[in-house]
Amino acid sequence: MNQSLDIMTAVGAAAAIRDGTMTVEDFARGCLQRMAAREDVLKAWAYVDPAAVLRQARELDKTPSLGALHGLPIGIKDIIDTRDMPTCHNSPIYVGNRPSGDAPLVETLRAAGALIIGKTETTEFAAAGRDPSTRNPFDPTRTSGGSSAGSAAAVGDGQIPLSIGTQTGGSTIRPASFCGVHAMKPSWGTISREGVKVYSLTLDTIGLYGRSIADLDLLAEVFGIGEKQQIPASVSGLRLAFCRSPEWEATEPPMREAFARAEDILRNAGAHVSTLDLPEPFNGLPAAHKTILFREGRTAFLNLYRAHHEILHEDFRHRVENRDGFTDQMLVAAYDLAAHCRTRFDSIAAEYDAVLTPSAPGEAPKGSGAGNPALNHMWTLLHAPCINVPGLKSAAGLPLGITVTGSRYADRQLLAVASAIDQAIAAAI
């Protein structure tokens, strides 16, 4: 593989394809080579058909540009329906499952010229049950994080420029932190989640991975989220709030150091840095998240419990039987608290250009577990856009991500601010 291909951003590759300096086939071939070379160690992929990928790549080379993603390889999390590949949810119930059509989000990607290169490994139903076997690109004894394990690892490892994940707790942002990848969980409801396995309608959100903030902005544009914003020349003068969130106790020393380091870097670069302590009601959000997750999960997995009881993983039986006893009153209280805090967080966030918070408790843990979503689930429940800015690393050389978040639907403004933050951090390390 041409060494440059594995660090080429999606925006850069799109330009090279458009200008005729690189063919779709060459880029796809480079990606496939890197995927094949690394798969034994990384195990990012649930399904790839190299011959079919190259056939489509050659077709795209012969086709006038379909759109902004023309010829760009994209990995799709294996809980998302694809018309030409299996969708197996890492579940024994769905072995060999062949959906008859693309999920709408996949159809939108194809309509913009994307090359769907394969299906990425996932935690079972992006929820619980079976872990993926995916490993961390920086240390194969460690997890890539879940549930969007393969999507994060494949981009983090330089195999592909773009991928799609999902987030219900912390399933996009946490793996991005562990794998050192730029990622975004957009505001709730901005990308169709039809044709994607449901866990919780209130929480499930499509997630985006790329090699730069501009790559994420490119995907946001394709999905019709907001309008392109001017990127600030620098962080100088930006109002940035550092928020430890109610889950700060879950953080470990390497993340605490990285978070302090980010604050120093951005202050030194001229940002107006302040500390944000969220008001008392926000302390109830972690419990509200769990109540909603488990009660909506009861609805989501009922059919599997009834029709595939013997092979359904214990974790899902647990939810359907409501073994933790979440009551209707608890569910209503959780919905109402979340709604209250959404309004308040919009007001709070409006006073800043961005709110920054840790993307994960610390380094990727050993093994193949999903990792602790404590630092992410609150923001998922708030429906707020979250962007993972990588770049910082622990003493051991492992990635530690910072989440840039803000008001609902400020996605594109936040991407512009995150771009300036990303540049400042990259310049300082």
3-state secondary structure 200-246: CCCCCEEEEEECCHHHHHHHHHHCCCCCCCCCCCCCCCCEEEEECCC
Least distance from C-beta 380 to its own copies, angstroms? 14
Question: Catalytic annotation on 171?
Answer: yes
* Helices then strands, each counted (H, E), the chain: 13, 13
- Residue 287 CB, shortest distance to its own copies, in Å, is 18
Catalytic site includes residue 393: no
**Count of CA atoms in the C-beta half-sphere (13 A) of 85:** 28
- C-alpha 339/C-alpha 383 separation (Å) is 10
What is the smallest separation between the CB atom of 192 and its own copies, expressed in angstroms? 5
Provide the token pair at 291.
């109540």
Rounded to 5°, the CA angle 70-76-82 comes to: 90
Of 91, 148, 151, 171, catalytic: 171
Measuring CA to CA, how many Å separate 1 from each of 16, 26, 287, 390?
Answer: 16, 9, 48, 25
The catalytic position among 43, 77, 119, 185 is 77
Q: Give min distance, CB of 69 to its own copies, in A.
A: 11
Nearer to its own copies by Cβ, of 109 and 392: the residue is 109
Q: How far is the CB of 10 from its own copies (least distance, A)?
A: 18
Q: Which is nearer to its own copies, 189 or 270 (CB)?
A: 189
Six token digits for residue 227: 């309008």
The catalytically annotated residue of 91, 119, 144, 147 is 147
- Contact residues for 201 (Cβ-Cβ < 8 A; gap 6+): 296
Task: Give the nearer residue to its own copies in terms of CB position, either 302 or 427.
Answer: 302
Q: Which residues contribute to the site for its own copies (CB under 8 A)? A: 97-102, 104-105, 107-108, 110-112, 189-194, 197-198, 201-202, 223-224, 226, 295-296, 298-300, 302-304, 306-307, 320, 328, 331-332, 335-336, 339-340, 342-343, 346, 408-409
**Distance in Å from the first CA to the final CA of the chain:** 28
Tokens 């843990």 -> residue: 365
Please report which helix (H) or strand (E) contains residue 45, including its range.
strand 45-47
Smaller CB separation from its own copies, 289 or 408: 408
Q: Is there a catalytic annotation at residue 187?
A: no
370/384 with CB nearer its own copies: 384
Q: Which residues are catalytic?
A: 77, 147, 171
